[in-house]
Structure 1
Amino acid sequence: MRRSNPSIEVSGDADDRGSAALEFILVGLVLLVPIVYLIVALGMIQSQSLGTEAGARHIARAISQAESADDARRSANLVLESVVGEYGMDAATVDFSLACIPAGSVCPSAGATLVVTVRASVALPLVPPILGLDQVARIPVEATSAQKVSRTWGTP
């Protein structure tokens, strides 16, 4: 005796057919676009953070190893230009400051501890320059490095 398979009935409206692909595309775009933007923005911020850290460290080392104040200033500017170019930083937003410990002494001086701070700001991607939004949508990054200057610094 041969048995036949019972027919399978599909419940639901015929209007729902094909909507899963549309929902997948819509939800995928709604979730994917912000995630990609976040990854790009965080990558840019991380790159600038690494650049400011490298700049602070190398400027402190260059100044502490220079032979005179003029040579220290020249070395610091060359290092800063190199770091700005290497990390693709906006040169207009990069600045560094120099302080010495103990305070009140001529900076740099023999035996002092140099404290170099490099500051920059990262423009968020895809922000239009309308109404100054590109200036508002900036993330500040900062790095500090300390370096001890030799007690024989500046002596011939």
Structure 2
Amino acid sequence: MDDEGSAALEFITVGVVLLVPLVYLIIALGAIQEQTLGAEAAARQTARVIALAPDADTAELRGERVLADVSEQYGLAPDAIEVSVTCLPATAACPAAGATITVTVAARVALPLIPAIFGADDAASIPVEGTAVQKVSRLWGSG
């Protein structure tokens, strides 16, 4: 039996079989990393602008604007983001003077080249979350 030339064919076949999953893994991990960094940045910047705003109305307006800007920069889908703002100690108004604000931004990363068929969105996406904590000044809202 003549095996001449079969090593090159085997090398190409095995190379392609190993290379395609490796390239997909690199692309998928890049997308997940980008969205994770976006969620962290959105939470951190939103907490900062809320804590530094002069009053509650301005804090809400600035927080929404910053969240939209960061979401656009990192490619987060605005309709797929869930934002939670909590204050400790719990008061009727959040944010409040002297409180500690916790902002949590959660999103789902759609895996590349995997379509969401038959409502299987959860199977074709990875959840990511970012949390930031910021202390509000004791004099917040008084001036």
The interval holding the TM-score normalised by the smaller chain is: over 0.9
Q: Contact 1:127 / 1:133 at 8 angstroms: preserved in 2?
A: no
Partners in 2 of 1:88 and 1:99 — Cα distance? Answer: 25
Runs of 4+ in 1 over 4 A off after TM superposition: none
Q: Report the RMSD for the aligned CA atoms in angstroms.
A: 1.2
Larger Rg: 1
Q: Which residue in 1 is equivalent to 2:52?
A: 65
Partners in 2 of 1:129 and 1:113 — Cα distance? Answer: 39
Residue 41 of structure 1 pairs with residue 13 of structure 2 = no
TM-score normalised by length of structure 1? 0.87
Map of 1:93-104 to 2, 5 A cutoff?
Answer: 93-104=80-91
Partners in 2 of 1:141 and 1:135 — Cα distance? Answer: 12
Deviation at 1:134, TM superposition (A): 4.2
Partners in 1 of 2:120 and 2:111 — Cα distance? Answer: 10
- The C-alpha deviation readout for 1:112-149, integer Å capped at 9, x for no partner, is 00000010110000012322344421100001110000
5+ residue gaps, structure 1 = 1-12
Q: Which residue in 2 is equivalent to 1:23?
A: 10
Partners in 2 of 1:154 and 1:86 — Cα distance? Answer: 30
Identity of aligned residues (%): 56
5+ residue gaps, structure 2 = none
TM-score normalised by length of structure 2? 0.95
Residue 53 of structure 1 pairs with residue 40 of structure 2 = yes
- The C-alpha deviation readout for 1:55-87, integer Å capped at 9, x for no partner, is 111000000001111101101100110011100
Map of 1:1-156 to 2, 5 A cutoff?
Answer: 13-14=1-2, 16-156=3-143
Q: Contact 1:124 / 1:139 at 8 angstroms: preserved in 2?
A: yes
